[in-house]
Amino acid sequence: MSVAPDVVTYNTILRSLCDSGKLKQAMEVLDRQLKKECYPDVITYTILIEATCKESGVAQAMKLLDEMRSRGCKPDVVTYNVLVNGICKEGRLDEAIKFLNSMPSYGCQPNVITHNIILRSMCSTGRWMDAERLLADMLRKGCSPSVVTFNILINFLCRKGLLGRAIDVLEKMHRHGCTPNSLSYNPLLHGFCKEKKMERAIEYLEIMVSRGCYPDIVTYNTLLTALCKDGKVDVAVEILNQLSTKGCSPVLITYNTVIDGLAKAGKTDEAIKLLDEMRAKGLKPDIITYSSLVGGLSREGKVDDAIKFFHDFERMGVRPNAITYNSIMLGLCKARQTERAIGFLAYMVMRGCKPTESTYTILIEGIAYEGLANEALELLNELCYRGVVKKSSAEQVAVKK
């Protein structure tokens, strides 16, 4: 004897279909469900309304809301939140605010998630004054903000460069029973790094830890990138070495950032030690890792070491890109080995890597550097004529007669 599916079974099927983008099939299942007199509940309709918002738009979803009500199924706050989110995603923020204000008339009070959806939309469209008013309105109505509420505001203020105001919001969180998390501090650290205020970034990293909020790998990657760009690569190495003791495991991008910083600072020996360390930890270097090292070795005049490295990672199955080839050619040209650089161009083409404008300008400058200025100019003019090198780029090429 077979058991008839209940509403929970149907909801599971509907959720699976809607998550797979099969709304039409989901609506057919709903029809079969109704014919079997297994009546949909609020979860059924909320699943379908959310999928309809994504696939057919809010106007169509509103028809489902009307059908839901006509069948005596009362929407809950989750249903309304789905619709508010849909309206915001369609760029109709003012309508979403009206919808929020009308919810109590339908016997449903907006919750913190409803307000957060509107708040995020206000911030993404630059309506800061409205966001402040909404926050005040939330508090007046007794709707307590969450960590997410404050994080939305902090993120917006930091993107606008208003770091002082973002700190004010951060410091108010405890008054409302909210403990800042890494997503509260990350935008601040990113903002300080963007403004090259590294001391302030490190200060807030220490404040974060002292308050029991442990930075995640995103926090550290942001800080390490900024330190390397600011030339403070030794500080970056020190922080990288401390990560494991802080319960935060470096990932590929973490190592790539510091390896690139060391390579650009003329410290490729240290960079190669880091490469060995990351391999020992089971992390597989990629083209970014190897390009940084090849570039660093070439800049230091160790072009033969760079070429050896280049062929080593080729054998490992890592395919070099134009940046890697250009680094080798630049190193060869600086070493007055332009003939080898031209040979490397031929190898590049043979391996199916398309030369860039920089490839040609590097070679032209190399030819000129070896005392063949007339030949270099002739080649440059020919490449400009063929459209391989732009005229604006040609003007930057150093060819002295």
Contacts of 286 (CB under 8 A, 6+ apart): 252, 256, 318
The reported pLDDT for the residue numbered 51 is 92
The reported pLDDT for the residue numbered 37 is 80
The stretches of 141-232 forming alpha helices (DSSP H) are 147-159, 163-172, 182-194, 198-210, 217-229
User: pTM of the prediction?
Assistant: 0.75
Q: At residue 342, what is the residue type?
A: I
Q: If the chain, 401 residues long, is cut into consecutive pieces of 10 residues, what is the mean pLDDT of each piece?
A: 73 89 88 84 92 92 92 92 96 94 92 96 92 91 93 94 93 92 92 90 89 88 91 91 83 94 94 93 92 93 92 89 91 89 86 84 78 65 60 52 46
DSSP 274-300: HHHHHHHTTPPP-HHHHHHHHHHHHHT
The reported pLDDT for the residue numbered 54 is 92
Distance of CA 66 to the CA centre of its chain: 39
CB distance 49 to 67 below 8 Å: no
The reported pLDDT for the residue numbered 174 is 92
The reported pLDDT for the residue numbered 212 is 87
Distance CA 319, CA 140 (A): 60
The reported pLDDT for the residue numbered 342 is 84
Q: At residue 223, what is the residue type?
A: L
Q: What is the length of the chain?
A: 401
